[in-house]
Structure 1
Amino acid sequence: MLDADQWRFLIEGYCDGQVTDYQMSALAMAIYFRGLTRRETAELTRCMVDSGERLPRVNDRPRVDKHSTGGLGDKVSLILAPLLACCDVDVPMISGRGLGRTGGTLDKLEAIEGYETQLTIDQSSRVLKDVGCFIVGATESIAPADRRLYGLRDVTGTVESVGLITASILSKKLAASLDALVMDVKVGSAGFMPTIEQASELAECLQEVGAESGLPTLPLLSDMDQPLGRAIGNAIEVNESLDVLGGGGPKEVRALTLRLSAELLVATKQASDLRAAEKLLASKLDSGDAMQRFEQMVHEQGGKLSGHLPLGRRSEHVAERSGWVESIDCPAIGDAIIAMGGGRRQTTDSVDPSVGIDLHVRIGDRVEAGQPLWTVHEGPKPCPPITPVQLSETNVPARPLILPLSRND
């Protein structure tokens, strides 16, 4: 479609106003329908990185990060960043806000009183040097072309393009001067990619374009046909993250965090293999080291944290009959969170961090009549009637957490 010089002309022109929104909208629509080759995606990514600044190196430690395509209850970033910082790697994490059903890391952290997500490059570099990690929002100077183009894609219905998604993710990660990136591509009704085939296409594109751009990118597919862990909401997910940082919490949250973190330690030669890496990481959770590092990061970014965060008024819902959990209605849960004010329909909407849902079961669990299935935490806006847990009279197998890629050979 376009060569390197043409991409550069377009992106530079878009940033300085010579290329208009309606012209770029037409290009985004063409890309949406026709797709991009790997070469074109790499050229677009490079131009988007070059449209802004890069984060400076502050020491000789390896720099790594993790990115998730998003899903209900995905609070891994809050645990992974301080956990890896305990293992002699730096984690300069640039995160986003929630829009729609999937929550945003920044919204979760802003449930902590005083936590500042907008730092200058000098401020974030100081936190990284002192703590080994930070979690902030993108500044105006980091990949500004991506900021403009993403907003345009959102209103033109062209978000779901593998090439444009890849360029958007990798441009910000390359601007962070990383040595390795692990990608958690979610698969299922609570995520962005509903099928393994779609998720695998995105994973392969990220891996190939990352490699061509000089950033080793390690894709991993994880199940999102049910929320990750029990907690869905902002403050309630911070609380669950604190549980995991303290050595407890839901086993699936701990397991996914350990696996993603281990991939990065092996990639940067901080561990010989995944088993050794996970053993080291688990010791940092169980000893309290990761919790201490998280508290230090929160303090350095202005937050005041003293234990679990307060939640809205609770109401418990129990099983009316016995059976096995067959499915979980993730869209219904996400829509209920939004209705209570815990998510956004538009980027300008405010968020009530105290609302959320605590899901007590997972697919494949056996439940008895009268057993609690979920708990709602409401604020001023009530929770709409929901029945997110569907039961079967016959045994239902549990779902695997990590899924295999579907290779297009």
Structure 2
Amino acid sequence: MSKQKSKPWDEKWEIVKPIGGGGQGDTFLVKPKDSTILSQSFVLKKLKNQKDPERRKRMHREVAALSTLDCPGIPRLFESNSDQFDSDVPLYMVGEFIEGKTLSQILDSSPPMGIADAVNLVLKLLETIQYCHNLGIVHRDIKPDNIIMRRDDIADPVVIDFGISFNESDADGTILTEPWQQLGNRFLALPELQVSSSMQRDPRADITQCCGIWFFAIVGSPPVTLLDHEGRMPHQRPESQKALSKIPSDLLAKVNRIFDRAFGTQIDYRWQSIPELQQALTDCISATENAHNAEQYIAQIQNKVSTSSDYARRQSFKKLAQQLNRELYNMSLTVARELGKGFGTTHNRTYLKSRDFEGLDIDWTHLKFSERHGITNEFLPNDFFPKFTGYATGNELVLLAEVNGEKVELLRTPLNGEPDLTALGERLRLFYLEGARKLIGA
């Protein structure tokens, strides 16, 4: 075999550097030797085991699939000699170079994605897979290593490696996977892709693998099998539940229902169509956005309330009202104790146990409150039971006491200032003593 024959890609392509490889082939960053071709980078993939007939068929299958596809989510094919798969010529293909890391590489160096990001990733992925299915192509090897995030953008996934794909246009050809060959990958083993299965060409396998990608994006680990040795689905395993527990309960219920259906052992009970799965995933985004909107609404309301001048005025009024109500209560107790045996207090609410001065009833429309605190004597039929009213006027709070229709102003204080409680206490003490004196007829 001549040197040129051993490297047929050398005629048109100059290798810049190796960029990776897998079980199927080695890949290199290359540039065209023809200067008339646009100055851009391409990726060269050459078959690793050139003497293996099955490997040669796989490359031809991949090229056959890519040659029919024109989609942003799939690398464009530029050229290949894979039509010589039944000869001894070294096979290669050259396609669009997608700059970016694989999904595996991204999640290796960062925490799992949030629900919304993971949903957007898989929705874009499903668009690409639906495009393939519409052309009769089933990928059958969807895994994180076969998804490149263009420019590391998680919203721009590109699907690569169609080496074990099935193309309906080849149904009568000679390059189909042999019926004894096991398909799929170690990312998620599916029964329909096993050696004994007659359903190796079922497009629903791709849908299930996309669900596996969603699981991987959220949890950070591969689902591996539909059921483990204890009969648990991927999302039911302890290590998975630890990651999923960070999701709000209402949203988690929707996520779990998607996984419940995605990882069923019977393919007929899994997600049956891409639009159906897309709708379920979109519902998850809606739930996330609603929760996000709720937080935004709360922040907006709190900001509006806290920056409102009217709100500040009401806050000042409430603080003063509670402070004055406490003074009214305390002074009634003080005077009753000073008067001695037989005297006590009476109130319009029960304060003795709770001292609940913050539970004041306030008329917010008029910025006004009313409370009653009085003096009583166990031997007299009547009580001294005045009504105290506080109201805002301008930038002040005025406190009035009313007995038998007669009103007395006890305090006038700025809403934003500290009241003179000493002076108020003196007025209140005399007010209560005067009332008690009249009560006993002294």
Bin for the TM-score computed over the shorter chain? under 0.3
TM-score when normalising by structure 1: 0.25
Q: Higher Cα Rg: structure 1 or 2?
A: 2
Which one has more relative contact order, counting CA pairs under 8 Å at least 6 apart? Answer: 1
Calculate the TM-score normalised by the size of structure 2: 0.23
